[in-house]
Structure 1
Amino acid sequence: MATPTRGVRNNNPGNIDYVPANKWRGQLPPNPALEKRFARFDTPENGIRALGKLLLTYQDKHGLKTVKAIISRWAPSTENDTGAYVRAVEANTGTKPGAEIDLHAASVMQGFVKAIIHHENAGFAYPDSVLVEGVRRALE
């Protein structure tokens, strides 16, 4: 079996940076011996919840309404091939380039989160039950 990706090992499939001010539900205390940069969570559902909550912040607080706008903030071009990332998320969610999306709709959020997890974790996919529960927690 292949070694799990960092995001899967950390139950942080969005690879969210650890920021002391963020008090995510289920976030584990920092442990530089295990992970120097990224947050770690007790369950993948809580990692997915944090991913969803962050995406909602991008949409609601920062006014980002398209896949390109959201992914450009999520995965800046200084660290990623943002154009390829945007195309992958659009393809995986069936979103036309430039179309506005509503992440408050569970089906849209699920598709978006699933595409990010796939991209961030070398094609990894959680069982639908884990994805659905993580998104439910993000939208509550």
Structure 2
Amino acid sequence: MTAIQETRGIRNNNPGNIRHGDDWNGLAEKQPDASFCTFTEPRWGIRALAKTLLTYQRRRGIHTVRGIISRWAPPSENDTHSYIHHVAHFVGVDADETIRVEDHLFPLVSAIILHENGNNPYSNETILEAIRMARG
């Protein structure tokens, strides 16, 4: 078994490590992880990640990488400062620059997957399909 398969997010088809709480499309019937959702396929977990980011902008008015990651990965549970700078660098923006999440969704999703799991084993096509599903 490789390290890619061993990460919690990859194992749960939930590479954003979304916690239980919402009734997401694509949830597995059995939820063996007490903290984090398990999805039937990676595209459903990635879709949930993308929908959450879109909600941050649309309903919460969050328009910066710092705002997004501070909400996604609060300092009580994460090294949020490093996470913010990693994602901002990956996306190619300043952490405090105002962005339209829709315009940066692919690199935001990809950076979060990478940061949460230490790698991103998903094809661009899988991520783009999940983003289309989130927008649809």
Which range, TM-score by smaller chain? over 0.9
Segments of 4+ in structure 1 off by > 6 A?
A: none
Match of 1:137 in 2: 133
**2:102 is the counterpart of 1:104:** yes
- Summarize deviations over 1:109-128 as a string: whole Å, max 9, x none: 00000000000001233111
Q: Which amino acid aligns with 2:92?
A: G
The 2-side partners of 1:44 and 1:86 are apart by 24
The 2-side partners of 1:75 and 1:30 are apart by 25
Equivalences, count: 134
Give 2:14's match in structure 1, choosing from 12, 15, 24.
12
Match of 1:117 in 2: 113
**SS in structure 1 opposite 2:108?**
helix
Match of 2:28 in 1: 28
Q: Quick check: which one's helix share is greater?
A: 2
- Summarize deviations over 1:75-107 as a string: whole Å, max 9, x none: 0000001010000000100012311111222xx
Report the TM-score when normalising by structure 1: 0.90
Could you tell me whether the CA contact under 8 Å between 1:66 and 1:100 is conserved in 2?
A: yes
Report the TM-score when normalising by structure 2: 0.93
Could you tell me whether the CA contact under 8 Å between 1:13 and 1:117 is conserved in 2?
A: yes
**SS in structure 2 opposite 1:17?**
coil
Percent identity of the aligned residues?
43
**Unaligned residue ranges in structure 2 (runs of 5+):** none
Cα distance, 1:13 vs. partner?
0.5
